[in-house]
Amino acid sequence: YGGRTRDLLDRLMSSDNSSEIGLGIFACGELKLVRQKKALFQFLKSPDLNVRVHAAIALGKLGHRDGVHLILAVVMSDDFKLSIKVLQLIATLESEVRLLVNRLLREMVVGEIESIKSNGAYSDLSEQQIVRLRALYYILGYSDEKLIKVA
């Protein structure tokens, strides 16, 4: 990449604004900038969750598995909006990393569904458990439909 692009990325990734940092990290992943790998690993330690997630996704696009557990934790979190955004980004990961994330995600989702279902009849579930089941089935369906079939 050229000098102007390098300058822009340096400016974004050294910003005090987490949104700008996230844009820089996103660009590194999209452009497959392996030379930024060291910086991306450092961003995995950021106190800002969005910066860490962007770094994990960018590293996954480069074929690194170091952010997989963070990606899974965010998808399985109670923040459904963020979970869906990250779930959609999983499809952009390098194929081996994407398949690993998908396999682990399916195991986690199925395990949690079984745990909730083992508590008795559906009529005995709390509203919170029903909402959680809905989210889990959405994740499972998205996983089957979008992540496995991505080339």
- Torsions phi, psi for 148 (to 5 deg): -75, -35
Tokens describing residue 82: 């963020």
Closest CA to 51 of 97, 11, 94, 17: 17
> Exposed, middle or buried by CB within 10 Å (0-12, 13-18, 19+), for 105?
buried
Q: Are 41 and 73 in contact (CB under 8 A)?
A: no
Tokens describing residue 53: 């997630």
Cα–Cα dist 132/48, whole Å: 25
Distances (CA, A) of 30 to 23, 105, 117: 10, 23, 40
Predicted pLDDT of residue 44: 95
Predicted pLDDT of residue 150: 47
Predicted pLDDT of residue 1: 57
pTM for the whole thing? Answer: 0.85
Cα–Cα dist 103/123, whole Å: 30
Predicted pLDDT of residue 93: 93
pLDDT profile of the chain (151 residues), mean per 10: 83 94 95 93 95 96 95 93 91 92 93 87 85 89 68 42
68-75 vs 95-117: helix crossing angle, rounded to 10: 40
